[in-house]
Chains A and B, each alone.
Chain A
């Protein structure tokens, strides 16, 4: 179980004298991902979802809040002591081309973490080779052909599988997949998504999926939770299918309305929501963060910040004073 409460991260810009301002990447985010569970962070670029993913993977520090990994509070530990805890959480990079060292073969790439693992657990050296073949088989690659190759000899999809295999060498509890399929050919994306789903089911690894593509978030697991993040704040949170089918926050609705409709196969939603202005980070931080772009804003919205909460009649948590269901997503022709 990995939980976070009130995570705040501010990127301080240098040269404050010249009026540079701090960027609030995260404004107090809570999350909880149970063992073997799934969660997705969705939002536009710059909303803080990648920063949050990196914080969870231990690659970035945070200013306030607390992260608990299996009940151990990270802030109580020193840097060196945190390391073994964060190792349970492995980040899968977006770019499979830079995630593997071009000068090392796949064998070398897997050997290093495995020999470390063997040392820690007191396993014999023969275990390393066996395990290397095992993790490659797990991700659907043939060890015989892949082990001796260099990364450039593999396709994008195969590289991403190797990256996942490398993460599995340390027996992680959770994989954080940051836009893990966006740089892979369309016809192969689903294969990687299916692999992540499969690892969840077979190994009980939980998966945190970070994406701007809501539909892929759904593929990871319909029992998972969806977090919609806007400008460093979670604005809606709930079961994946609930949030997609019946979103109540106008931002979520705008995001879902923007998904292209496959005309000929699908019928567009009846009440698409189009935000008023484009995202402007420099707007004032008073009131609701989405108020300036919200077509449904009321008076309260510009003076008071709504917090993520449950209200009556709405199954999911949301941060909106005027939650209302709207039919925004496209539906298959056959259903209409």
Chain B
């Protein structure tokens, strides 16, 4: 394994979707760095732009969407936004492994897992197919599965958790060192989810990966991620080391989100719902802060000026109220 875990620098990324009401931004001016060898978690609700953002890492945003501005620099690859055609296809899989949302259902039901593995190898010009199969078996074995049996199976013969592991195997088998997992545990049971998260953590450490986990579930990020980034209405509102952000959230949205999670112990009345509802592509405010409609700390300036992310050591928050308080 000669390759190193790559670093990723996303700078000023804006992705717009063409709608009858004009081009609307699904992701707006997001700047985020994935340090080599870390697991970063992006948390957001529906419409927060988290999946679109993950797709732009592969430069795979489908029309009517397009990357309107910004760059995604990946070590050893350069700016992905500039890649086209064959270069891009090769980069996917070889450099970047992607485990799609609902990976449980993304296998071809008519082919065995092994056949799909060989297809993947051939399309990426792998000469040593035997080696590829050996590698796949090893990975599956690592994840607690019987490799030979799984490769001989069709999709319907595998349980949800097993399929998810197959998805991870397919993302890693070409020796990619940047892995994106989109909602890796949705629709899985608690115990299976815990297993998958454990596997993600272990494989990440053993193979020296840079991992990005996209999820709506703060618990998932809390379990696996070193760093946490919170997205809302296409904006990155807060980021920082997971423990710090969870322990002392600063952005009112992060705070509200954490308070909205029912807990196992303590006073249940402490859990409070966030008022209002998350914006959709069409209802995201054109100017000012995207969160102000639901914000308890709303000020006049929030209506007109979109807060910029203020860095403070390893953390960054985009909120006028928080910035004011710190400078007061």
Direct A/B contact, Cβ within 8 angstroms: yes
A residues near B (Cβ < 8 Å) are: 44-45, 155-158, 185-191, 193-194, 212-216, 218-219, 222, 244-245, 254-265, 274-275, 278-279, 329-333, 335
Across the interface, A259 reaches (CB within 8 A) one of B190, B244, B247, B273, namely B190
On whether the beta carbons of B263 and A332 are closer than 8 Å, the reply is yes
With A189-B260, A218-B262, A218-B268 as contacts: A258 and B277 at CB distance below 8 Å: no
Q: A187 touching B191 by the CB < 8 A rule?
A: no
A-facing mask of B210-224, CB < 8 A → 1, else 0?
Answer: 000000111110110
Let me know if B243 and A264 touch, CB within 8 A.
Answer: yes
Residue B197 CB within 8 A of the other chain: yes
Interface of B is mostly: helix
- Is B265 an interface residue when CB atoms closer than 8 A count as contact? yes
Q: Which of B219-249 contact A (CB under 8 A)?
A: 219-220, 222-223, 242-247
23 interchain pairs (CB within 8 A)?
A185-B216, A186-B216, A187-B278, A189-B273, A193-B262, A212-B189, A213-B190, A215-B262, A218-B263, A219-B262, A219-B271, A244-B264, A255-B190, A260-B194, A262-B222, A263-B222, A264-B245, A265-B258, A275-B191, A278-B192, A279-B159, A279-B191, A335-B265
Q: Which residue of B is nearest A274, CB measured? A: B194
Report the Cα distance A245→B264, complex, angstroms: 8
Interface size class of B (residues with CB under 8 A): 35 or more
- Provided the pairs A263-B242, A264-B242 are in contact, do residues A190 and B264 lie with their beta carbons within 8 angstroms? no
Known: A186-B218, A333-B247. 6 other contacts (CB 8 A): A155-B277, A186-B216, A187-B278, A260-B194, A260-B197, A262-B219
Cβ distance A39 to chain B, nearest Cβ, rounded Å = 16
Using CB atoms, name the residue of chain B closest to A158: B277
Residues of A within 8 A of B222 (CB): 260-264
Q: Using Cβ atoms and an 8 Å threshold, which residues of chain B touch A185?
A: 45-46, 216, 277-278
How many Cβ-Cβ contacts under 8 Å join chain A to chain B? 128
Q: How far is the CB of B101 from chain A (nearest CB, A)?
A: 14
Of residues 30 through 54 on chain B, the ones whose CB sits less than 8 Å from some CB of chain A are: 45-46
- Answer whether residue B116 sits at the interface, using C-beta atoms and an 8 A cutoff: no
Chain B nearest Cβ from A130, distance in angstroms = 28
B272 within 8 A of A: yes
Docked Cα-Cα span, A36 to B324, in Å, equals: 48
Is B265 in contact with A261, judged by CB distance below 8 angstroms?
A: no
- Residues of the B chain whose Cβ atoms lie less than 8 Å from the Cβ of A219: 262, 268, 271
A265:B273 contact, CB within 8 angstroms: no
- Do A259 and B264 touch (CB < 8 A)? yes
Q: Is B167 positioned at the interface, with any CB of A under 8 Å from its CB? A: no
How many Å from the CB of A73 to the closest CB on chain B? 35
**Interchain CA distance A216-B263 in the complex, whole Å:** 8
Residues from chain A with Cβ under 8 Å of B161 in the complex: 278
Q: At the interface, yes or no: B4 with Cβ under 8 Å from chain A?
A: no
Judge whether A187 and B264 touch: CB under 8 Å: no
Q: Indicate if the CB atoms of A260 and B223 lie closer than 8 Å.
A: yes
Is B195 at the interface (CB under 8 A from chain A)? yes
B193 on the A face (CB < 8 A): yes
Contact between A187 and B247, CB atoms less than 8 A apart: no
Are the CB atoms of B246 and A263 closer together than 8 Å? yes
Residues of the B chain whose Cβ atoms lie less than 8 Å from the Cβ of A264: 222, 242-247
Contacts of B133 in A (CB 8 A): none
Query: B194, A257: Cβ atoms under 8 Å?
Result: yes
A194: B residues at CB distance < 8 A: 273
Chain B residues contacting A222 (CB-CB under 8 Å) are 268
**What are the 5 tightest A-B residue pairs by CB atom distance, in nearest-first order?**
A260-B219, A264-B243, A264-B247, A264-B246, A190-B273
A245 to B222, CA, bound (A): 21
Residue of A nearest to B188 (CB): A45
Known A259-B219, A264-B244; contact A330-B264, beta-carbon cutoff 8 A: yes
CB distance from B319 to the nearest CB of A (A): 17
Q: Check if B266 is an interface residue, CB within 8 A of chain A.
A: yes
Q: Is residue B307 within 8 Å, beta carbon to beta carbon, of the partner chain? A: no
Contact A329 to B264, CB < 8 A, known contacts A45-B189, A257-B194, A264-B246: yes
CA distance A254 to B278 in the complex (A): 34
For B268, list chain A residues within 8 Å (CB).
218-219, 222
Q: Which residues of A contact B159 (CB under 8 A)?
A: 278-279
Given contacts A190-B272, A262-B218, contact A215 B264 (CB under 8 A): yes
CB distance from B147 to the nearest CB of A (A): 16
Question: Is B65 positioned at the interface, with any CB of A under 8 Å from its CB?
Answer: no
Contact between A265 and B277, CB atoms less than 8 A apart = no
Q: State in angstroms the CA–CA spacing of A265 and B222 once bound together.
A: 10
Given the complex, which residues of A lie within 8 Å of B70, measured CB to CB? none
